[in-house]
Structure 1
Amino acid sequence: MRIPRIYTATELTEGTTIELDSAAANHVGKVLRMKPDQSLILFNGSGNDYTASISDVTKKHVTVVIDSTIKVASESPLETHIGQVMSRGDRMDYMIQKSTELGATEITPLTSERCEVKLKGDREEKRVKQWQQIAISAAEQCGRSKIPIINPVTSLDEWVSSKPDDTLGLVLHHRTTQQITDIKQPEKVCLLIGPEGGLSKSEIDMAINQQFVATTFGPRVFRTETAPVAALSIIQWLWGDFNR
């Protein structure tokens, strides 16, 4: 039987007995209906996994014993920060799930000239929390020991202008002739992805003026939720851990 792998926000230390946080306890006790003496693998984003066994289960509380620490080598050496202009429906959910599986380090939802999603106040906070939970669930499934950070919604121009100097900025632009294979290998990448209607010329020019490199992955135009999946796959192959 496959041992469940569960994220918990609780501090994990080998040889201790702890009570899981409410989200993890609900999943273990109510969703999986696990019982005392059953085994778990826990992680809290520190970079390690922890084997554990359940000592007690009630309606609201789950207590576990941390048995051992497992060093996990599931993180790419390439740091990737995706700036994704928000899109309608479940496209953002899909993007965050797949980007987590593909090794993204950080994701920032963006607004832009052609962004059709308007989030403010409680709606924005609720959606960001939902996206963070999607990243957690994807990390549980794919074996990542760290969780991508989902940042608050930011304007495209603010995100572009905040790119660190030691980071390669890429903006997908199907009308350029710059091939990604001609770019020198970086250690960190910021990847700008436009909305369903694409980035405007002024937004692309602004990104280029902020030292982003306009690059293409071929002659076809990707949908907004396909672009980060394709881009991450390629840069993980070229510069990350897909070919190791």
Structure 2
Amino acid sequence: MAAVVLSACGKMDDSQIMRLALPQAASDRGDAVWNLWLGTWIAVLVIFLLVFGLIMYAAVRYRRRSDDEIPTQVRYNLPIEALYTIAPIVIVAVFFFHTVTAQNEIIADVENPDHTIQVVGSKWQWTFNYLEPEATNGEPVFDFGDTENLPELTLPVGESVRFELRSPDVIHSFWIPEFYFKMDVVPGEGPQKNRFDMTPTREGTFTGRCAELCGLYHSRMIFRVNVVSPEEYQAHLRDLQARGQTGSPAGQISADTVAGLGDSESGVED
């Protein structure tokens, strides 16, 4: 019954209740997250109904009557205790398997992505560097903002994008809720240079934010996400070039040097 009821839900439904509290999906990675989320709800509801049913059955079936004697008291019941031990292990193992399966699907690389954008999270702002010199006569362009003037990230709908995440100071987290995915932005060089690939699936304006407590103005690390047509995307890159926002953004030059740990002459610019 739980499976039948919840199977009517969908990640694109207009009702938040039918989406099980998730936002409407806007990326190709939404299917893996939605299937995991829906399966979790079904499992939780089944377990709840089973446990609640057993509680009510025991309360009614074994309620005390005026002529009842106190039953024999025992210290333990091995079959019941074995069930209480094995059942949670099986449940957690099943959750773990499906979580890892969904994770592998979500973080899988796209071969030859259509676009590459370098995301720089710093205290306390975002900078987006579009590494597409072929669209701007050999020059990469960037967009930026601060806590008062929100930066805007523009993406083309239906085309794959590789996000390269960098930080010059502390750990941030790049999160767009409608994309059903987030990843930490880790400072320093080495394998912690995170990246992920994703394809926006519907046009619209969304709100992104930092999902890692990164300091005083963490709550103000917000940015707008504009998913537009490929033609509008290319026009936006040319507009950034016309505004003189070419090359590498100021904070990105030292994005591999952790503030306070590197050479003072190559310190991080905010």
TM-score by length of 2: 0.21
Query: Going by fraction, where is helix more abundant, 1 or 2?
Result: 2
Query: Going by fraction, where is strand more abundant, 1 or 2?
Result: 1
TM-score by length of 1: 0.22
Return the index of the structure with the highest Cα Rg. 2
